[in-house]
Amino acid sequence: MSDWSPEVVEVLEAAGWAPGRRVDTACWRSMFEPGGLSMHDAAEAFLREFGGLTVDVSGPGITCARTPFELDPERARGEEDRFLEWGVSIGRRLFPLGELDQGRFFLAIDEVDEIYLVETWIARFGPVPQALENLVLGVAPRRIEER
């Protein structure tokens, strides 16, 4: 993930990330599969490296305020229908990553490494690793219009 700016690396390291970090994702997989959300390879790879991190950023950003986010899929427990419905709507398989702005929004990843803001509407932060850069530096996601 050497594509990040030094500021983003510093913020992620302060949250507990390090190159080569590996966490067990089995609990998240078993938590969501009964509700119909299966963990695809992109979710597995992302959560293995970043799962469990709480990124505490605030203040002005590039195009929106910097907002803290927590990469813990358990924060989205009970919201499986929301992820399933939005996945069908955009033609992608979404898996929960956690929450943004202390639970105001959820974060998800699709099978091609794109990260989303999920609420009663949906927006794209872009592909990993650019999406993490956008989240840390305060770049607003692009809203997806309903089809």
CATH number for the domain that contains residue 113 = 3.40.1580
**pLDDT score recorded for residue 135:** 98
Residue 87 placed within a domain: yes
**pLDDT score recorded for residue 2:** 55
Phi, psi for residue 91 in degrees, rounded to 5: 75, 30
For residues 37-74, one letter each, b for 16 or more C-beta atoms within 10 angstroms of the residue's C-beta and e for the rest, the string is bebbebbbebbebbbbbebebeeebeeeebbebbbbbb
Residue 36 placed within a domain: yes
Measured between alpha carbons, how far is 130 from 147 in angstroms, rounded to an integer? 26
Residue 27 placed within a domain: yes
Q: How many domains does the chain have?
A: 1
**pLDDT score recorded for residue 3:** 83
Pick out the chain residues at pLDDT < 50.
1
Residue 79 placed within a domain: yes
Residue 1 placed within a domain: no
- The parent domain of residue 24 ranges over 6-144
Residue 16 placed within a domain: yes
Residue 10 placed within a domain: yes
* Nearest partner of 42 among 104, 116, 146, judged by Cα: 116
- Mapped onto helix, strand or coil, the DSSP state of residue 143 is strand
- Mapped onto helix, strand or coil, the DSSP state of residue 125 is strand
